[in-house]
A and B are shown apart, each in its own frame.
Chain A
Amino acid sequence: MILDDLTSNMGAWLGGNGPHADVVISSRIRLARNVAQRPFLSTASPSQRRDIYETLSAEVARLYPLNTTLFIDVDKATPLDRQLLVERHLISHHHAVCEGSRGVSISRDESAALMINEEDHLRMQVLSDGLQLEQLWTKVNTIDDKLSDRIPFAFDKQLGYLTACPTNVGTGIRVSVMMHLPALKWTKEIERVERAARDMRLAVRGQYGEGTDVVGDLYQISNQSTLGVSEEEIVEVFSHKIIPRIVDYEYAARETLIKHNQAQFEDKVWRAYGLLANARCISTQETQTLLSPIRMAIHMKQFNVIDIQTLNEIFLHTQSAHLQKRAGTTMNGSERATARANYIRKKMAG
């Protein structure tokens, strides 16, 4: 399996299926771990960093042989390949741009990615489409158990797993759910959701996590507290309380839109389609913004010119690195804008 194979696939998190897939795009759980008796990466020398990298990559390779996974030496990867991995949510932006020995092991179906030497020595993340956090917790917990049997992770009897930043100490777990909330945004109800989320110590961010803006009405909801609460409790609260409640709010807002603003709703969807199907130059941001009302309309059975799979393909493959990998060449901003528009027109025409 090679990195270029990824560009022709969709990735586990954008399959378009799973519970509440009409609102919940994807679920993700990551665990942060550090090898005991070793410095955190902020103070590790290049040789200590390389040593941690080699130890962990050998253990990960033992667990997941290379014929079943893809291992990328991120330090040696080209900037374009790194960007491709970020666009597919397989590594973080920080992992792409930081320096020194680091890598990622990716499962064949892209449902698991183990980042070595990110902010912590090891960040194990598992991904799926829809709301499937309980399955993801079982999966990542098993990976953690297997690695724990061979690697002593830094652990304190009072504070739990020790992490480079105290905001992750304890369980080191981050549960994130990417939600598509266009109707809540349209009706401005989203502000209430954001306020309620803040009161519950949840973070609401853009689709690429910390420091990213909300584009295309895609909101990433994640826990902030990692201490004094167990992994199962967080997963349970997200799976059965927080996310279903937001899903219900979104459904109610969508019904309100159809009931009271049918004409404006249709106009917004068809204008978006008109632009996407005819544009000659278009940015990623504009593409994702325009795909949002169409995604909502497809799920509400109000639009059938394209299906959700086609829309997801457009969503993923119009990102900068994906476009350039498919073209087999690097492109500047305006070349990408033209290539993106050409790709979308072809897809829209079937």
Chain B
Amino acid sequence: MDVACEHCKKAKATVHITDVPEKRERHLCEACAQSEGVIIKQTHQTTTEILQEFIKQKTGLGAVDEQACPHCGVTFREFRAKGQLGCPRDYEVFREALIPMIQRAHGSATHHIGKVPSTADETVRRQTGAFKLRRELDQAIQDENYELAARVRDQLKALDGPASA
């Protein structure tokens, strides 16, 4: 069926569409179909590129890739290429995108439960201590070690008490 494009009236229509439910038929050339958004332009992307693009859209990494840290100027894309962050503030700037990566690298952990510098304030000390105890409590319950679980729970309660306690 040789039909001219009903939009530009010049090129041969190669895209034939039937709109539902009105059952209206449309005949367009490829260029007009693309400009109307009926079909998507074919690119020479590899499957991996298409997949990466898809992951980026889904995870929002595409948007964050171009984001630059206002303190050191490093973009998230540069970090992903080099594996090195530009300054400690990057952890705040890129936090949302970094946390899933950090979780993958550290067996799904999201919180520090180790040493706290002597200069850190009391709130940080308590918070880190509480995270550690909560993890110990979970483990004790999992091991059915209820005696230990009770002791850890008491320690947690004490930690939740007033700062001077």
Seen from chain A, the residues whose Cβ lies within 8 Å of a Cβ on chain B are: 34, 36-43, 119, 141, 144-145, 148-149, 152-162, 164-167, 169-171, 173, 201, 224-231
Contacts and interface: CB of A to CB of B under 8 A. Distances in A.
A228 B136 CA distance: 11
At the interface, is chain B mostly helix, strand, loop or mixed? loop
Contact of A157 (B87, B98, B127): B127
Interface string B112-129: 111111111001100110
B84 A164 contact: yes
B119 A227 contact: no
Interface in B82-125: 82-88, 91-92, 98, 101-102, 105-120, 123-124
B85 A166 contact: yes
Contact of B88 (A36, A144, A148, A226): A36
Contacts, number: 124
Which of B114, B124, B135 gathers the greatest number of chain A CB atoms within 10 Å?
B114
B114 A162 contact: no
A56 to B, nearest CB: 16
Contact of B114 (A145, A154, A165, A173): A173
Contacts of B110: 158, 227-228
A333 B113 CA distance: 49
27 contacts: A38-B88, A42-B74, A43-B72, A43-B73, A43-B74, A141-B115, A152-B117, A155-B116, A156-B91, A156-B92, A157-B120, A158-B111, A159-B91, A160-B112, A160-B114, A166-B85, A169-B91, A169-B112, A170-B106, A224-B106, A225-B106, A227-B102, A227-B105, A227-B109, A227-B112, A228-B106, A230-B113
B112 A153 contact: no
A231 B114 CA distance: 6
Given A227-B106, A228-B109, A42 B85 contact: yes
B27 interface: no
Contacts of A148: 117-119
Nearest to A43: B86
A40 B88 contact: yes
Given A39-B86, A40-B87, A167 B114 contact: no
B77 interface: no
Which 5 residue pairs spanning A and B have beta carbons closest together? Answer: A228-B109, A160-B112, A154-B88, A43-B86, A227-B106
Q: Choose among A34, A42, A156 the residue with the greatest number of B CB atoms under 10 Å from its CB.
A: A42
Nearest to A33: B117
Contact of A230 (B86, B102, B114, B127): B114
B132 interface: yes
Which applies to chain A's interface (DSSP): helix, strand, loop or mixed? loop
A227 B107 CA distance: 8
Given A43-B72, A157-B124, A166-B102, A230 B115 contact: yes
Contacts of A37: 88
A202 B105 CA distance: 12
Given A34-B88, A43-B73, A156-B92, 11 more contacts: A43-B72, A145-B118, A148-B117, A156-B91, A157-B127, A160-B128, A165-B84, A169-B102, A226-B106, A229-B113, A231-B115
A162 B118 contact: no
Contact of A40 (B86, B92, B111, B113): B86
Nearest to B116: A155
A39 B102 CA distance: 20
B112 A158 contact: yes
A254 to B, nearest CB: 33
Nearest to A166: B102
Contacts of B119: 148-149, 152
Contacts of A39: 71-72, 86-87
A157 B127 CA distance: 8
Contact of B118 (A149, A159, A160): A149
Contacts of A157: 120, 123-124, 127-128
Contacts of A171: 112, 114-115
Contact of A228 (B86, B87, B107, B117): B107
Nearest to B86: A43
